[in-house]
Amino acid sequence: MKFSNLGKRLFFALWAIPLGWWVMNTDFSIIPSSIGTVYPAHLVVVAIIMMACYEYTRMLALFYPFNAFWCSYLWLGLQFVLYIQNDTSFPSTLSIYVLLILVAAEAVIWGRRNQRNRWMRASLLFSGNAFLYIAAVSLMNLYREPFQSLLVPHGHTMLSQLGIVIVIGAIFMCDSAAYFTGSLWGKHHFSTISPKKTIEGCIGGLIAALLVCGIGWLFLADRRYPFWLGIVLGLIIGVFAQVGDLLVSLIKRYFRVKDASDIIPGHGGILDRFDSVFFTAPVISLFAWVVGKIFG
């Protein structure tokens, strides 16, 4: 274990955890209700996704330096505006089609210098934007039904979104437990995608997610939902959080970079730190939807 890196991680946690707690639990809208509902957490999600988009397009630009990848910010920005206004008149299928047109135009116009790789260029830009969009909407949907019915919030302002704290905390605890367990006791390599990952670390991360979700479900879940659903949620988070980490490791390996950026001391970039959150949030939304349909 690199203790210099550990110190940076601990220093980051000292201020990031209290700030994250405040952001997740703050339940006032910063815009008039006639326009929409925007919690501070929504703005944080937008900022994080935009920074992740910057990191991804910067990596993509290593292969395609002549580009118009700024179109990603325009498209993602439009999606956030539509979401905040809760505008259903413009369906998501058309939004995806607009993205398809944008990446195709970018590949045709700016990709003329490297015509053989236009399809790969468009595919990478499209898939990256679609992934970030799905992650962003899934995270913001944690403040809506059906997730809000799963874990009963506390009446206190700073405890109003304990359900969100539990699932996000379980993801980060899974990451941290996997890191420390693997660093201290890891001997058996898990995947060639990320040589530092070990089976022992994966088990440690899975156990941490199960404990956090199990305890959280025991005290916060609506009584109509059986306890074993909390174990299922912990299992889902424990598995998909680590798959998300491997996915971003695969992306970085493809682009031949060590970290997406160095914006977070000891962690790398936004994609390095929030990869598990981005990949797991949609599965949590799917879990909430299935539970609501079966037990609601």
Q: Which one has a higher pLDDT value, 196 or 163?
A: 163
Q: What is the pLDDT of residue 4?
A: 55
User: Quick one: pLDDT band at residue 108, thresholds 50, 70, 90?
Assistant: very high
Q: What is the pLDDT of residue 262?
A: 87
pLDDT digit string, tens, across residues 184-197? 887 888 877 877 88
pLDDT digit string, tens, across residues 58-84? 999 999 999 999 999 999 999 998 898
Asked whether residue 101 carries a pLDDT value surpassing 90, the answer given is yes
Residue with tokens 């506390």: 154
The ranges assigned to domains in the chain are 1-30+152-296, 32-144
Q: What is the pLDDT of residue 6?
A: 66
Rounded CA gap, 65 and 156, in Å? 51
Rounded CA gap, 235 and 241, in Å? 10
Helix and strand numbers (H, E) in the chain are 9, 0
H or E segment at 194? none
Rounded CA gap, 46 and 187, in Å? 39
pTM of the model: 0.92
Q: Which one has a higher pLDDT value, 159 or 197?
A: 197
pLDDT digit string, tens, across residues 232-251? 999 999 999 999 999 999 99
Asked whether residue 169 carries a pLDDT value surpassing 70, the answer given is yes
Contact at 8 Å (CB) between 237 and 210?
A: no
* Through-space distance between the first and last CA atoms of the chain, rounded to whole angstroms: 46
Rounded CA gap, 57 and 67, in Å? 10
Q: What is the pLDDT of residue 29?
A: 82
pLDDT digit string, tens, across residues 205-233? 999 999 999 999 999 888 889 999 999 99
Instruction: Give the pLDDT mean for 264-289.
Output: 92
